[in-house]
Amino acid sequence: MIKTTYEEFLEKNGTMTYSNVGVSMMPLLKQGRDLFTVRKKGKERCKKYDVVLYRRPPSSYVLHRIIRVRDNDYVILGDNCVNREYGIKDSDIIGVMTEFVHNGRKHTVNEMGYRIYSHIMVGFAPVRVMFMRTKAKLKRLVRR
pLDDT tens sequence across 36-93: 999 999 999 999 999 999 998 777 899 999 999 999 999 999 999 999 999 999 999 9
Contact 35, 92 (CB under 8 A): no
Provide the CATH number for the domain formed by 6-143 in this structure: 2.10.109.10
| CA-closest candidate to residue 47, choices 99, 79, 90 | 90
Vertex 126: Cα angle to 125 and 130 (nearest 5): 110
Q: Which pTM value belongs to this model?
A: 0.92
- How far is C-alpha 61 from the geometric centre of its chain's CA atoms? 10
